[in-house]
């Protein structure tokens, strides 16, 4: 360092710099030189290194390097170059002024720490993007984990900055924070609980983005939009957004419809009430007409007179088993439930091959439309409580 300063002093004297301004001119020249070197290093990084990395990543077949070396990461890397150059060369400008040099070096360290925090956060964001597109990791709620790591990085960076400014060992600051751990636990209670809950949700595969969940306690009935460190966002079917604390999903019960979506079909379990006064034996003419139909194939006779409700249930099983939008590989049955004062319930239990909401509801309506329309062919009637029109008709009959 002394050799460089002596050489520069000799050069300035040779070009005619006066003795009374020699020191000031020498320092100005060194500072300008340091700034030029820092600028050139930054220029070289942005105009040569960054384009070279972009071309290299564009030529590869994989996509992870495109995310890992994106604009945010490369820009943060370029921001690191000038302060590092300044930190290395500033001692040449202030060789005999330790106070000024120490202050400027502290500023460089603070700036380097801030840029390093930004670089690490950008790097973690890239890792999250890569993991969210990975086949084995994309269905895990990892955003909260990455947010927690970012929070740790920021906390460490803040501790380093404070220790630099006050000339204290970072471990002393950490020791002081340990004494106030109880207060920190209260301040970051939701964050810590959210992190623990996020790990449990991910480890046990309890929740994934795009899952359809129901949690009536919080008014949630829709798809999971985002799982963060402190909230789980659910978009309800009416397009409202419900936010739920992650730890609530661990401590309370919620219903996840993912199993239905991953299965072969969506269950339909609905019943109609038959008027028991219409249940009777079939006549010989009715049985002759029924036996001429294709749907009587596989009909098991009881050996006695056949009941119209028994024949009707066989017809429904045939109809459902030959419906193109019913998954016949899953449970399919038409069963009779316990009779009630409102009639005899006949329940249809089958699975829709299409699990989306609109086709599912359309299939249900189609099946029960057909069921109601075909009932009179078997001499059956749906039980229905008397309405005002029934009372008017009865009154008219009595008046006649």
pLDDT digits (tens, 9 = 90+) for 147-204: 777 878 888 888 888 888 887 777 776 666 665 666 666 666 777 777 777 777 766 7
If asked whether residues 42 and 97 sit together in one domain, one would say yes
What mean pLDDT is predicted for residues 365-393? 84
**Looking at the 3D structure of the chain, how many domains does it have?**
3
> Which residues form the domain of 246?
162-259
Q: How confident is the model at residue 22 (pLDDT cuts 50, 70, 90)?
A: low
Q: Residue 372 in contact with residue 319, Cβ under 8 Å?
A: no
If asked whether residues 6 and 133 sit together in one domain, one would say yes
Whether 387 shows a pLDDT value over 70: the answer reads no
Q: Residue 183 in contact with residue 168, Cβ under 8 Å?
A: no
- For 358, 389, 396, the CA distances from 399, given in Å and listed in that order, are 49, 15, 5
- For 2, 5, 8, 241, the CA distances from 14, given in Å and listed in that order, are 18, 14, 10, 76
Dig out the tokens for 124 from the structure: 């973690």
If asked whether residues 112 and 175 sit together in one domain, one would say no
Q: Which of 242, 259, 276 is the last residue of a domain?
A: 259
The CATH number given to whatever domain includes residue 185 is 2.30.30.60
Whether 63 shows a pLDDT value over 60: the answer reads yes
What mean pLDDT is predicted for residues 55-65? 75
pTM, whole model, 2 decimals? 0.53
Whether 14 shows a pLDDT value over 60: the answer reads no
If asked whether residues 27 and 110 sit together in one domain, one would say yes
CA distance 212 to 200: 19
Q: Residue 384 in contact with residue 343, Cβ under 8 Å?
A: no
In this structure, the chain runs to a length of 400
Range with top average pLDDT, 6-15, 98-107, 147-156: 98-107
If asked whether residues 178 and 275 sit together in one domain, one would say no
Q: How many CA atoms lie within 13 A of 279 on its CB side?
A: 17
If asked whether residues 123 and 34 sit together in one domain, one would say yes
If asked whether residues 187 and 311 sit together in one domain, one would say no
If asked whether residues 134 and 9 sit together in one domain, one would say yes
Instruction: Provide the 8-state DSSP code for 386.
Output: -
Residues 6 or more apart from 274 whose CB is under 8 A from it? 309, 343, 344, 345, 346, 380, 381, 382, 383
If asked whether residues 134 and 176 sit together in one domain, one would say no
Q: Which of 230, 259, 288 is the last residue of a domain?
A: 259
Whether 16 shows a pLDDT value over 70: the answer reads no
> Is residue 211 a part of any domain in this protein?
yes
Q: Note the pLDDT tens digit of each residue in 203-262.
A: 677 888 888 899 988 889 999 988 877 788 999 988 899 988 888 888 888 888 888 877
Whether 318 shows a pLDDT value over 90: the answer reads yes
> Is residue 276 a part of any domain in this protein?
yes
If asked whether residues 6 and 60 sit together in one domain, one would say yes
> Is residue 394 a part of any domain in this protein?
no
The CATH number given to whatever domain includes residue 368 is 3.30.70
What mean pLDDT is predicted for residues 6-33? 59
Nearest to 314 by CA among 303, 325, 327, 300: 300
Q: Residue 335 in contact with residue 349, Cβ under 8 Å?
A: yes
* Other C-beta atoms lying within 10 Å of the C-beta of residue 95: 15
Nearest to 124 by CA among 158, 151, 157: 151
């Amino acid at each position: 360092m002394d050799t460089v300063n002596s050489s520069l002093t000799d050069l300035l004297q040779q070009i005619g710099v006066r003795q009374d301004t020699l020191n000031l001119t020498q320092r100005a020249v060194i500072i300008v030189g340091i700034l030029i070197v820092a600028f050139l290093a930054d220029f070289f990084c942005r105009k040569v290194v960054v384009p070279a990395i972009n071309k290299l990543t564009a030529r590869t077949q994989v996509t992870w390097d495109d995310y890992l070396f994106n604009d945010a990461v490369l820009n943060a890397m370029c921001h690191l170059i000038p302060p590092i150059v300044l930190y290395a060369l500033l001692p040449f400008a202030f060789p005999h002024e330790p106070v000024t040099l120490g202050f400027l070096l502290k500023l460089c360290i603070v700036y380097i720490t801030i840029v390093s925090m930004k670089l690490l956060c950008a790097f973690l964001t890239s890792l999250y993007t890569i993991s969210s597109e990975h086949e084995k990791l994309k269905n895990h709620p990892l955003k909260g984990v990455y947010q927690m790591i970012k929070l740790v990085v920021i906390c460490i960076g803040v501790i380093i900055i404070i220790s630099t400014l006050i000339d204290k060992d970072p471990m002393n600051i950490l020791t002081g924070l340990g004494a106030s751990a109880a207060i920190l636990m209260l301040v970051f209670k939701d964050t810590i609980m959210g992190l623990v809950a996020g790990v449990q949700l991910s480890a046990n595969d309890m929740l994934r983005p795009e899952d359809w969940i129901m949690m009536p306690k919080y008014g949630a009935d829709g798809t999971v939009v985002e799982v963060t460190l402190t909230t789980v966002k659910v978009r309800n079917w009416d397009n409202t957004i419900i936010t739920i604390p992650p730890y609530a999903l661990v401590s309370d019960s919620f219903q996840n419809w993912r199993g239905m979506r991953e299965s072969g079909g969506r269950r339909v379990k609905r019943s109609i009430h038959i008027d028991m006064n219409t249940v009777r034996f079939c006549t010989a003419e009715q049985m002759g007409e029924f036996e001429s139909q294709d749907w009587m194939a596989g009909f098991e006779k009881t050996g006695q007179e056949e009941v119209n409700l028994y024949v009707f249930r066989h017809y429904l099983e045939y109809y459902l088993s030959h419906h193109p939008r019913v998954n016949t590989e899953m449970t399919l049955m038409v069963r009779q439930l316990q009779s009630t004062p409102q009639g005899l319930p006949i329940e249809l239990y089958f699975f829709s091959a299409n699990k989306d909401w609109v086709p599912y509801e359309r299939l249900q309506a189609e099946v029960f439309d057909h069921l109601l329309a075909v009932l009179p062919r078997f001499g059956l009637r749906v039980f229905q409580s008397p309405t005002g029109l029934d009372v008017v008709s009865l009154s008219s009959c009595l008046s006649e």
